[in-house]
Structure 1
């Protein structure tokens, strides 16, 4: 079986012939391929127009056209996903849309970093392993996610082992003083007992344990599947060769699953339970990653904007969920915010909520404005209040070109309103420097001052216009992965 592993760019428009050629399909094969990807929500189709060919983002106005129209070839196809997808023997590696100048065969380094970012984002959001994709008729076993979980778990925790506690006389383990005092003979000298024999305890691992061998066998098989799919380099995973056994050597599927269930009933360690359940899923589904069927396996997200927002929030030291007493400003917390109740609030809690007034009643809404992130850095000995909005857009704002890939008017007005929402807090603490800024990704190595977004009627209220900064995604991700902050003064706000 020939594996076809190719890169595509998120949000780029592809024709049916592009996909047919890139993934080595005949006409029937590419139709089935497109139908499967659309069913799982990772591929969209839009009208085949000159405007669409020039677009770098899919917006609400780009209404998806029906499958019947799609079959006529009068449409373009858009991957709305970042990550890795396997569909039979085809491996689709979707890299982010802001890598505009990169060729498909020259994005390995960037994609390796993106994969690490996706892994860290998944851990930080405490996302549970997605064992299945889709639902109903489109439900399929997510073998890639299971394989990656098992291998990463092995790197972190090692092989599943069962140990037995053995009691020895004068061994090297921990001394069991209770048993030694009760059962050993002591010699007394200077009113002190001296024991000739000490009972000790040590744990001995059973190298022939069934589950240790099963774990080694599955890991070896998973590693080979990753290598066969040409994904071992992308995920930075060495080949794991721990076993020469096959799954069939452990008994038929029903027997293996029964043994795992019995072991689960004996284990109370949370990590061991998760590992055993994942092994159960792997064995029970009896599916290989490159099987020629309609199932799709995925590692990534259709909401990469959330990943960008999370990375920006951490790297630019988001204070939204920080309690007021922990803000560490250069001035004490103002009296208004220093009461017992108020100082337990988080910065996000002081944004006013709408009040609905009736004839004889009033009620406060549950929701209100929520900024992406707010930073309160100390710059040259003074507190600054900076309202950021992480926008995962490819902005076209150049002379002689039409405006494209820009946030909508709602995004712009909300940024102004965030400053109004914090006006009292800003004034109460004498913060003179307030800034507003959109953060967008770029493949370039330096921060780009792209300009600003402004509305005269809101500018007239002494509200700050929204600066636009393109942030080098590679540098931001490096900081996100290492837990470091970027120097906000570099933004030159």
Structure 2
């Protein structure tokens, strides 16, 4: 299998893709169509403006069929993670990595971040859904089975063993009916007792099947150059072949019967994953297969990372926050910073002219809020995690910046909290966009301002590029980043 790196949001020409896939034009058309079908590749008009863009706007996407030697379009990957298509491995790394065309170490860490990000979902992504069809996601099932094994071990069933004078539960009925009894002073005494012991059945059909499939998966992932990328230890614990367990229909029949009597949730997941693996009976190298592990929405991952690393107080109750003055009658102990943002009130008129009001459920929702105390100087910081690649240089054109809607919303967040900040006598208010960078240190990129908001006494919105690799380290380890590192 051919393994290649591609960069998210980079504009690739038709010839670029042919060089990457090292194939004929006819085969490339088939691959591009499949990638577009599952929404991980988009096409835009081939223009000088587009070739320099680092973001993709929906209005720019061209809906057109792929033609051989197509020089009218540029192709954009909108995915971060690993894609297996038509026997090729595509390692898609984020758009902010610009100085390394083969960022192996960076992508390893990103995969750990993606695994943690999706760990709260108690589901296995067995299928890739597109607008036209659905395909079995072999890679996702493989990764799930290996990770599950290292967390929970092999699938096991136990047997009940009856033994003499054991340490387990005493079986009084069998002891009374099947052993010799001594009567002394009309009291029975038993020289031996029968006990029940649960032992693991090492020759259980499903345990052996599980171990066989794990060994097969390990071999295939290693051959495909994926095992090392996911930093998964190989599982080589079985010498059996799948055919040793019967044909596919018999294996599925046995699994169905086991599912009918198995009520352990984890074991059910494992059995269903094995069932799907047996049913589809394909390999990663299959030219018809399509698998992926990752996301089309890495911006949401970046938001989650920032929220957990920079101690988000948005959902904390006000009574738990350290503030310069105690709560007053306007705010309650159990209020949160998100709940006190004003909601729109709609005023309606009845036919006879009387009015009524309705409160909207929707309102402004900041990404994260931080409150700090530095030598009794309290600060209130409104952060917004933005997955942008801004070009803000004195000798270059401005591009890749957050839009006007992002800017105005950030100012409105300040207005939304103005009353709270004033009543609690908070000394400083800061406003900041958080953007990722491949650099190793925090970069002070400047700020954005609008005169109309300056006149209202609102703070400029500062720009900080955060070292993504360091942020991921914090996120994976559950650590916090000190606000002082941002130099706001």
Q: Is the shorter-chain TM-score for this pair beyond 0.5, marking a shared fold? A: yes
Aligned position for 2:299: 305
Q: Please, which moves more after superposition, 378-387 or 220-229?
A: 378-387
Secondary structure of 2:338 counterpart = helix
Secondary structure of 2:339 counterpart = helix
| Distance across 2 between alignment mates of 1:491 and 1:112 | 26
CA contact (8 A) 1:175 1:198 kept: no
Aligned position for 1:247: 242
| Distance across 1 between alignment mates of 2:248 and 2:471 | 46
Secondary structure of 2:240 counterpart = coil
Aligned-residue offset at 1:180: 10
Aligned partner of 1:487 among 461, 482, 485: 482
Secondary structure of 1:67 counterpart = coil
Distance verdict in 2 for CA 1:214–1:450, change over 3 Å? same
Aligned-residue offset at 1:67: 2.0
Aligned-residue offset at 1:241: 1.2
Aligned partner of 1:36 among 23, 30, 34: 34
Aligned partner of 2:216 among 218, 221, 226: 221
Aligned-residue offset at 1:69: 7.0
Aligned-residue offset at 1:68: 5.3
Distance verdict in 2 for CA 1:127–1:472, change over 3 Å? farther
Aligned-residue offset at 1:278: 1.1
Aligned partner of 2:339 among 339, 349, 365: 349
Aligned position for 1:464: 459
| Distance across 2 between alignment mates of 1:70 and 1:63 | 19
Aligned-residue offset at 1:252: 1.8
Q: Please, which moves more after superposition, 175-184 or 270-279?
A: 175-184
Structure 1 consecutive aligned stretches of length 4 or more whose deviation exceeds 6 Å: 177-188
Q: Please, which moves more after superposition, 321-330 or 373-382?
A: 321-330
Aligned position for 1:90: 88
1:420 maps onto 2:415 in alignment = yes
Aligned position for 2:397: 402
| Distance across 2 between alignment mates of 1:238 and 1:205 | 25
Aligned partner of 2:406 among 394, 398, 411: 411
| Distance across 1 between alignment mates of 2:322 and 2:277 | 49
Counting only pairs closer than 5 Å after superposition, residues 258-277 of structure 1 correspond to structure 2 as 258-277=253-272
| Distance across 2 between alignment mates of 1:179 and 1:467 | 78
| Distance across 2 between alignment mates of 1:403 and 1:187 | 100
Q: Deviations over 1:176-219 (max 9, x none)?
A: 4977997897999xxxx998656544321111111001101111
Secondary structure of 1:471 counterpart = strand
Aligned position for 1:234: 229
Aligned position for 2:22: 24
1:153 maps onto 2:143 in alignment = no
TM-align CA RMSD: 2.3
Counting only pairs closer than 5 Å after superposition, residues 428-467 of structure 1 correspond to structure 2 as 428-467=423-462
Secondary structure of 1:19 counterpart = helix
Distance verdict in 2 for CA 1:368–1:136, change over 3 Å? closer
CA contact (8 A) 1:376 1:385 kept: yes
Aligned-residue offset at 1:353: 0.9
Counting only pairs closer than 5 Å after superposition, residues 56-455 of structure 1 correspond to structure 2 as 56-67=54-65, 72-104=70-102, 107-124=103-120, 126=121, 128-135=123-130, 137-171=132-166, 173-174=167-168, 176=170, 197=192, 199-293=194-288, 295-329=289-323, 331-338=325-332, 343-359=333-349, 360-455=355-450
